Structure 1
Amino acid sequence: MDSFDPVVLARIQFAANMTFHILFPTISIAMGWVLLFFKTRFTATGQQHWMDAYQFWVKVFALTFALGVVSGITMSFQFGTNWPGFMNTVGNVAGPLLAYEVLTAFFLEATMLGIMLFGRGRVSERVHTTATFLVAFGTTMSAFWILALNSWMHTPTGFVMIDGKAHVTSWLEVIFNPSFPYRLTHMLIASGLTVAFLLAGLSAYRWLKGDKGKAVQASLRTGLFVAAALIPLQIVVGDQHGLNTLHHQPAKIAAMEGIWETQKGAPAVLFAMPDKATQTNKFEVAIPKLASLYLTHDWNGEIKGIKDFGDQHPPVAPVFWAFRIMVGVGLLMLAVSWLGSWQVRKDALQPWLARVLVAMTFAGWVALIAGWYVTEIGRQPWLVQGVLTAAQAASKVPASNIAFTLVMYLSLYAVLLTSYVSVLFYLARKASVPAPVLPEVAHA
């Protein structure tokens, strides 16, 4: 086992931990705002089905939040066990940002969550609604700080290196680094889309089980309408994010597009098998000049090829395919959400489309993970772009130790993820079973 590269194994382990962890904050971020919407609709209209929807989805939120917290703990361990060079080099930047996330976001979420889950009937409706708002706000602030750090790792600014360590010269430049606005917006919309399809999928499941009550209809409509509105916005934001990446991380763009040679009028490669050995694409299907058009907004715009970066470029095939999975799933989500929105507006949801929605309950996760892989694998070999490589930050832990803990993590995560999905559908089935009608008791 020690013949394996320990740096590669450490990267795989961190990716496994991050992949599992990110699934849950992605849901809790947007779900908090959905709960606030349901609660305010109930307060404004007095209609019970809005509160019924709230009561069902708050259970989903609580379960998701708990798994997000637990899985997040292992992330901090990784810095010390597998990547000590990260904190040794840029701890003056990363440490405070992580502390801000705990102090301004996590503490707020954890405090208000108790009131949100158990306070209704014990506090006023206004206080309960305020607690729901603060939980939603806290989850978003958590994303703000984590993405500020992650974006800084991609486009580091506001610091100087002294004796091999990063020292902050401007916290505003650190936080609001060049890629942060695009990455934060892209991630928040991705969270909204993930929750939108979760709402639509579980609601469609309940609908197919015969529960066509107002609470199910409200959740289904909310999910479809939110998805239909957010996907076009995500396409625009994604385009702007791509232009920002082209400026700051051109090697990532070259890998995403499968462009090996620097060229003007670069084609958009729809399908290919990138070959690392020959540095070419096999079985390429491409549209001439289209990549230059959407990347530079010029038919003849120049795009740098992978070969221009020597060995300072990411592995091409994983980035290339992850990008296409993200885009493909996104386009499928666009088509399904628009068709679903049209049908529910006419109160004519077709059973076949309901089954498609159930199958796409976690489509947001697929697109999100694919996009995250594009972002993170596309940064390699850098851990902090231009400052610190993954190899420089890695620990000296033997490959066999890393492999053992990796297998343990993967086994545990497989069980937890299966259990999580099973519980969500169990809750949906249980909510769809009508309460038994008790017989009246005869009085003498």
Structure 2
Amino acid sequence: MEFSALDLARFQFAFTISFHIIFPSFTIGLASYLMVLEGLWLATKRDVYLTLFKYWLKIFAVAFGMGVVSGIVMTYQFGTNWSVFSDKTGPVLGPLMGYEVLSAFFLEAGFLGIMLFGLTRVGPRLHFLATVMVAFGTALSGFWILSVNSWMQTPAGYAINEAGQFIPENWFEIVFNPSFPYRLVHMMLAAYLTTAFVVGAVGAWHLLKGRRSRAGGNEAARVMLSMAMWMAAIVTPVQIFAGDQHGLNTLEHQPAKIAAMEGHFEGEEGAPLILFGMPDMEAAETRYKVAIPKLGSLILTHSLDGRVPGLKDFPREDWPNAAIVFWSFRVMVGIGFAMLGIGLWSLYLRARGRLADTPIFHRAVLAMGPAGFIAVLAGWITTEVGRQPFTVYGLLRTADSMSPVDAPAVATSLVVFIVVYFIVFGIGTGYLLKSMAKTPGAGSDGPENGTPSRAAGVTPAPAYANPPRTEPAE
């Protein structure tokens, strides 16, 4: 099978962004988690919060660096493979991406050093301010990047000049385009849930390990699991609601994407909800359907007789790949409901006082550790493949966005990317997993351990870096 330069360029961008997106989806949530941990430590002086802060700070530093590196590589492709897209959309998207660098990235970089290495060098309140600023910077970075992506999905506030370039007319409409609020909320909640299930899985792992060694786990592991499960129980229902609202917005502005997500080729009133099936693009039908009558219309239009669009309502050359979008959407939704199940289970165990003492639950939480990353990737595939065949929805086709490059050149760089990414990020991911496997509080738990040596002539850490022990966590 021979691939065109367009196919290879699309795959290359998909490959690099798939690696990149998992790191911001983790570090956005982890930065906020670190902020909460340090705030709780300052408020309560409980040793366990400082232990967990140092433990996750080291992991955050590595994940943050991997996210930066993967993002830089990705941006070069705008010039090498997608120069026409960059030329056409540059007047609108260039400033937005510049704002992300000048505000969010500079904010993160400016305070990151204090956050990583200043715990024993600055006052506790100043250090907490640095942590807050890093957490705010990661969220602000997501704000700008999601504004860029949302504008490509639902363009607004622009005009087109004689050169065929999109030029800004109303920056407020550009930034706060029709899908942006929904996409921002949905992605930020996804980042928090992704982090929560990683933290919960690590806590569950250490509880299981402690049980095997008859040590009963440790306080830090119990606190990790408890905090993560509060997030799962509270935020997952909110995320499901936010996803539903995002779907209604997509129905209004990108109905062909909804048709592909739902597996409908024929538009109809009182449409069923197709749970499973095999969309066939050639035959323009979904085979082997398992469906619930009228439920599709009820969910999407809030009416049993509402009309749900089908792909045949649109020109065939404008159809996204229904098979990919259909199944990626179901993976995302399925994981969302699995997260909801874990959250409800945790509430039941918490009410009975068995949250930290139920191994089968801990194994389930451990198995769900990667679930957030899988859901984020599935959601990204749904969003981006569902936008095809456009880079700017309805206005600029993907085929018309490419640089004048040959397939062999793209293929060569793609192979290099694949080899280098798997080596570099494989080593980095292995290091992260190894760090997570270490028991919290055992030795140095972060870029600094807060206990400098007098023999080395270093001033001892201030008292706030190692507060006295208080009552154990519940």
Question: TM-score, length-normalised on structure 1?
Answer: 0.95
Counting only pairs closer than 5 Å after superposition, residues 68-83 of structure 1 correspond to structure 2 as: 68-83=67-82
Residue from 420, 426, 436 that aligns with 2:434: 426
1:371-410 equivalences under 5 Å are: 371-410=379-418
Number of equivalenced pairs: 435
Q: Distance in 1 between matches of 2:48 and 2:354?
A: 17
Q: Contact between 1:258 and 1:281, CA under 8 Å: does it hold in 2?
A: yes
1:344 shift after superposition: 4.3
Aligned to 1:120: 119
1:90-122 CA distances to partner (integer Å, 9 max, x unpaired)?
A: 100111000000000001101101000000110
Contact 1:209 1:429 in 2 (8 A): no
Q: How many Å separate the matches in 2 of 1:323 and 1:77?
A: 29
Identify the residue that residue 336 of structure 2 maps to in structure 1.
Answer: 330
Tell me, yes or no, if structure 1 residue 200 matches structure 2 residue 197. Answer: no
With normalisation by structure 2, the TM-score equals 0.89
Which structure 2 residues correspond to residues 84-163 of structure 1 after superposition, within 5 A? 84-163=83-162
Q: Which residue of 1 aligns with 2:266?
A: 261
* 3-state SS of 2:369 partner: coil
Alpha-carbon displacement from aligned partner over 1:293-315 (angstroms, at most 9, x marks no partner): 11011111111110111221201
Structure 1 counterpart of 2:420, from 408, 412, 415 = 412
Equivalence map 1:247-326=2 (5 Å): 247-310=252-315, 311-326=317-332
Alpha-carbon distance in 1 for matches of 2:168, 2:117: 42
8 A Cα contact 2:52 2:440, kept in partner: no
Equivalent residue number for residue 180 of structure 2:
180
Moved >6 Å (runs of 4+): none
**3-state DSSP class of the match of 1:272?**
strand
Residues 432 and 215 of structure 1, relative CA distance in 2, 3 Å threshold: closer
In the alignment, the residues of structure 2 paired with residue 433 and residue 226 of structure 1 have an alpha-carbon distance, to the nearest angstrom, of 23
**Unpaired stretches in structure 2, ≥5 consecutive residues:** 211-215, 444-474
Q: Which residue of 1 aligns with 2:375?
A: 367
User: 1:227: Cα distance to partner?
Assistant: 1.2
AA partner of residue 334 (structure 2): G
- Higher relative contact order structure (alpha carbons within 8 Å, sequence separation ≥ 6): 2
1:347 aligns with 2:354: yes
2: CA distance, partners of 1:433 / 1:33: 21
1:52 maps to amino acid: T
| Maintained 8 Å contact 1:158/1:170 | yes
Partners of 1:37 and 1:206 in 2: CA distance? 21
Q: C-alpha displacement at 1:433, in angstroms?
A: 8.5
CA deviation digits over 1:193-248, x for unaligned, max 9? 00000100111111112172222211111111101111100111111100000000
Alignment of 1:240-251 (within 5 A): 240-251=245-256
> Structure 1: which 5+ residue stretches go unaligned?
436-444
CA gap 1:74/1:34 in 2 versus in 1, 3 angstroms: same
- In structure 2, relative to structure 1, the CA distance for the partners of 1:173 and 1:434 (3 Å cut) is closer
In structure 1, what residue type is equivalent to 2:313?
D
Counterpart residue type for residue 203 of structure 1: G
TM-fit CA distance, 1:87? 1.3
**Whole-angstrom CA distance in 1 between matches of 2:441 and 2:106:** 37
Instruction: Give 1:434 deviation, angstroms.
Output: 5.2
Matched, 1:54 2:53: yes
SS at match of 1:186: helix
Contact 1:186 1:237 in 2 (8 A): yes
Residue 450 (structure 2) aligns with: none
Assess if the C-alpha contact under 8 Å between 2:55 and 2:441 holds in 1. Answer: no
Task: Say if 1:266 and 1:302, in contact at 8 Å, map to a contact too.
Answer: yes
- For residues 432 and 38 of structure 1, what CA distance do their matches in structure 2 show? 14
* Structure 1 SS opposite 2:403: coil
Measure the CA separation in 1 of the matches of 2:439 and 2:333.
34
* Aligned AA (1:381): P
**Aligned-residue offset at 1:417:** 4.1
CA distance in 2, matches of 1:416, 1:206: 27
TM-aligned CA distance change 1:434 to 1:80, over 3 Å? closer
- Cα distance in 1 between the residues matched to 2:441 and 2:173: 54
Matching of residue 219 in structure 1 with residue 227 in structure 2: no
Task: Supply the AA of the counterpart residue of 1:343.
Answer: L
Alpha carbons of 1:205 and 1:172: their partners in 2 closer, same or farther (altered >3 Å)?
same
Partner Cα distance (2:204, 2:431) in 1? 16
1:60-94 deviations in whole A, cap 9, x for unaligned? 11111000000000121010011001111010011
Identity %: 46
Which of 364, 386, 411 is 1:356 aligned to?
364
Q: CA deviation at 1:341?
A: 3.9
Q: Deviations over 1:10-30 (max 9, x none)?
A: 111101111100000111111
In structure 2, C-alpha distance between the alignment counterparts of 1:411 and 1:341, rounded to whole Å: 44
- Shift in Å at residue 377 of structure 1? 0.3
Superposition deviation, residue 282 in structure 1: 1.1
CA 1:307 to 1:325, structure 2 compared with 1: closer, same or farther past 3 Å?
same
Cα distance in 2 for residues equivalent to 1:97 and 1:433 = 42
Question: Secondary structure at 1:378's aligned position in 2?
Answer: helix
Distance of 1:350 and 1:415 partners within structure 2: 38
In structure 2, C-alpha distance between the alignment counterparts of 1:41 and 1:237, rounded to whole Å: 28
Find the counterpart in structure 2 of residue 21 from structure 1.
Answer: 20
Q: Secondary structure at the match of 1:333?
A: helix
Q: 2:167 maps to what in 1?
A: 167
How big is the alpha-carbon RMSD for the aligned residues of Structure 1 and Structure 2?
1.5
Distance, in Å, in 2 between the alignment partners of 1:388 and 1:429 is 47
- Report the Cα distance in structure 2 between the residues aligned to 1:98 and 1:45, rounded to whole angstroms: 40
